[in-house]
């Protein structure tokens, strides 16, 4: 019994770590632009595909080199997506219609391309971290990698957003575009940078955890949804909230899978999302950015 609970918690936290990472990649773009990139899940899956084609069964040095390469390429792609998304907005990024349409269509485009190239199959990938045993149950090494990546990105982002000039400038954007512009920041460049960073976060995470996710063209939607739920639970824009929200959602999903079967996981996500939006629309931990008065 105890071991079962332990397994649920470990797996839940690890899966939740992925949601948390996606939530953080949402947050940096949202804070810089007010945009939520609906394609973030497919960008994450793109990382998984990169792992399959570049580093399946590879040794650690190759794996690391390919991780770096894949992250950079994905970062450039996402920055380009950001450029396209911001193109019709001209400074007023509160106009939701436009960016919702463009990010959703990019999401559909990525999935359609993957489907045309690789078919509707799930690819299995093996990573460099060996499996280990917890309470006698074999657990893939990527679980540890997922949790490490979540903590690593959290610390790195906290440092970046509070201690570097560029990071502070991005944080300033989350308060007020006009003030930031007036203070001489080049808003558009910072926003593209934020898109790029979100690409690195989601892409590298997808690459690292490829062994434990379903690397298939239709999996992206599920991750973007759960990432969004983690972001909403933690309060959109709030990375500390995401750090807690992700594992919370992950453990809940695992518990659900254990009690009523894995087939209902998406239904559980939907119900959690609807309930959260109805009762705690600002998230359980509130917003990180100051509310406008």
Partner 1 sequence: MASQHNSLAEAAGPEVSLPAGKGHFKSDGLQLRLGILLIVLTGIGPSLLGNSYWEHTFQLVNIYIAVAVLQNFLFVDAGQKSFGQGAILGLGAYGLAIASGIHGLPLTVGVLAAVGAAMLGGLLFALPALRVQGFHLGFATLSAAIVFPQLLIQFDDVTRGINGISLYLPALTKPLVLGMSGLTLLVTAVPIAALLLHYGIRNARLGRRMRVAAESAEAARSLGVRPGFMRALAFMIVSAGTGICGALYVPTVGFISPQGFLVELSFTLFFVVVVGGRGQLLGPIIGIWVIYIVPNVLLVQLVEYRLLIYGFLTLAVVIVFPDGLVGTIEVRRRKRFQRGGGEQGFRLAPFTEMLEKIPPRQVPAEAAPILEVRGAVKRFGQVVALDGVDLKVRPGEVHGLIGANGSGKTSLLNVISGFSRMDGGSYSFRGRDVTRLSASSIARMGLGRTFQTPRIFTDLSVWDNIQLGLDARPTPLAPEMAALAERFKEAYGEDNPGLLAHGQRRLLEVIRVVFADPGLVLFDEPAAGLSPAERVEFSRLLRQLSKRLGMAVILVEHDLDLVWDIADRITVLETGSVVASGPPQQLARDPAVQHLFVGGAHA
Q: Which residues bind partner 1 (CB under 8 A)?
A: 36, 38, 84, 87-88, 96-98, 100-102, 104-106, 108-109, 111-113, 115-116, 221-222, 225, 228-229, 232, 263-264, 266-267, 269-270, 273-274, 277-279, 281, 290, 293
The owner of tokens 């939607």 is 221
Kindly state the smallest distance separating residue 138's Cβ from partner 1, in Å: 28
What is the three-state SS of 251-290?
HHHHHHHHHHCHHHHHHHHHHHHHHHHHHCCCCCCCCCCC
Q: Which is closer to partner 1, CB of 73 or CB of 268? A: 268
Kindly state the smallest distance separating residue 90's Cβ from partner 1, in Å: 11
Kindly state the smallest distance separating residue 263's Cβ from partner 1, in Å: 5
Q: Which is closer to partner 1, CB of 84 or CB of 129? A: 84
CA atoms of 186 and 177, how far apart (whole Å): 10
Q: Which is closer to partner 1, CB of 217 or CB of 247? A: 217
CA atoms of 90 and 92, how far apart (whole Å): 6
* Closest C-alpha to 45, from 213, 201, 195: 213
Kindly state the smallest distance separating residue 96's Cβ from partner 1, in Å: 5
> Which of helix, strand or coil describes residue 10?
helix
Considering only CA atoms, give the Rg of the chain.
19
Q: Which is closer to partner 1, CB of 3 or CB of 96? A: 96
Q: Which is closer to partner 1, CB of 119 or CB of 152? A: 119
Q: Which residues contact 102 (CB under 8 A, 6 or more apart)?
A: 84, 85, 88
Kindly state the smallest distance separating residue 264's Cβ from partner 1, in Å: 7
């Amino acid at each position: 019994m105890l071991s079962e609970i332990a397994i649920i918690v470990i797996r839940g936290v690890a899966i939740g770590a992925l949601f948390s990472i996606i939530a953080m990649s949402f947050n940096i773009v949202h804070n810089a632009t007010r945009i939520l990139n609906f394609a973030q899940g497919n960008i994450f899956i793109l990382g998984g595909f990169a792992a399959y084609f570049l580093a399946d069964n590879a040794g650690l040095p190759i794996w690391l080199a390919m991780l770096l390469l894949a992250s950079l390429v994905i970062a450039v792609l996402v920055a380009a997506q950001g450029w396209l998304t911001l193109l019709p907005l001209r400074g007023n990024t509160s106009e939701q219609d436009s960016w919702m349409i463009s990010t959703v269509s990019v999401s559909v485009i990525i999935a359609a391309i993957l489907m045309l190239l690789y078919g509707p199959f799930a690819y299995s990938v093996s990573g460099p971290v060996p499996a280990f045993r917890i309470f006698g149950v074999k657990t893939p090494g990527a679980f540890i990698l997922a949790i490490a990546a979540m903590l690593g990105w959290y610390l790195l982002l906290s440092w970046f957003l509070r201690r570097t000039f560029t990071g502070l400038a991005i944080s300033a954007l989350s308060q007020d575009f006009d003030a930031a512009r007036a203070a001489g920041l080049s808003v558009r460049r910072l926003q593209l940078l934020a898109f790029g960073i979100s690409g690195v976060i989601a892409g590298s995470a997808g690459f690292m955890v490829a062994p434990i996710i379903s690397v298939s063209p239709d999996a992206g939607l599920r991750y973007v949804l759960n990432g969004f739920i983690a972001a909403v639970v933690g309060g959109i824009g709030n990375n500390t909230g995401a750090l807690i929200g992700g594992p919370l959602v992950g453990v809940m999903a695992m518990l659900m899978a254990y009690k009523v079967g894995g087939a209902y996981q998406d239904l559980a996500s939907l119900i959690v999302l609807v309930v959260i939006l109805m009762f705690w629309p600002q998230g359980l931990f509130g917003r990180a950015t100051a509310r406008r008065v």
